[in-house]
Amino acid sequence: MTLKKLLRHLLSMRFTAALLGLDALLLIAGTFLGSQTPFAPLMFWSLLLCLALCMSRQVFALLRVKGRISPYRFGVLVFHMGIALVMIGAMINERQGYKRAVWLSETEPIDAIAEGMDVGAERIELEGIEMDYDESGALTRCDILLRAGAQRTTVHASSPGRLTDVKIYYGEQTNAYALAISEGDAREERIAYDGDILTLADGEMELYRFLPYYQPEDNRAFDLLGGSEHVLYLWGEQGTNREQPGIVPVGGTASPREGVSVEFTRRIPYVSLIFKYDPGLPVTGLGGAMLAIGALLFLFRKGNEKK
136 binds other proteins (CB under 8 A): yes
Task: Check residue 139 for interaction with other proteins (CB under 8 A).
Answer: yes
19/181 with CB nearer other proteins: 19
| Closest to 293 in 3D by CA, of 114, 76, 45 | 76
Number of residues that bind other proteins (CB under 8 A): 43
Tell me the C-alpha distance between 124 and 105, whole Å: 10
- Which positions from 160 through 219 interact with other proteins, judged by CB under 8 A? 160, 167, 169-170
Are the beta carbons of 119 and 105 closer than 8 angstroms?
no
Which H/E stretch holds residue 89? helix 71-96
Helix, strand or coil, per DSSP, at residue 252? coil
Site for other proteins in 9-48 (CB under 8 A): 13-14, 16-17, 20-21, 23-24, 27-28, 30-32, 35
Q: Where would I find the beta strands (DSSP E) of 75-196?
A: 98-105, 124-133, 139-148, 151-156, 161-163, 166-183, 186-193
* Nearer to other proteins (CB atom), residue 31 or residue 244: 31
Q: What angle do CA 121, 90, 101 make, to 5 degrees?
A: 45
For residues 101 and 79, the answer to whether their CB atoms sit within 8 Å is no
Q: Is 66 in the site for other proteins (CB under 8 A)?
A: no
- Least distance from other proteins to the Cβ atom of residue 40, Å: 9
Backbone angles phi, psi at 236, to 5 degrees: -75, -170
Question: Which residue in 6, 59, 138, 224 binds other proteins (CB under 8 A)?
Answer: 138
- Scan residues 75-114 and list those touching other proteins (CB under 8 A): 79, 90, 99
Cβ-contact 235, 135 below 8 angstroms: no
Residue 52 beta carbon to other proteins: minimum distance, rounded to whole angstroms:
15
Smallest gap, in angstroms, from Cβ of residue 201 to other proteins?
41
228 vs 219: CA distance, rounded Å:
11
Closer to other proteins at the Cβ: 27 or 224?
A: 27
For 11, 42, 88, 267, the CA distances from 39, given in Å and listed in that order, are 24, 5, 20, 47
Shortest Å, Cβ 90 to other proteins:
8
Q: Which residues bind other proteins (CB under 8 A)?
A: 13-14, 16-17, 20-21, 23-24, 27-28, 30-32, 35, 54, 79, 90, 99, 134, 136, 138-142, 156-160, 167, 169-170, 274, 276, 284, 288, 291-292, 295-296, 298-299
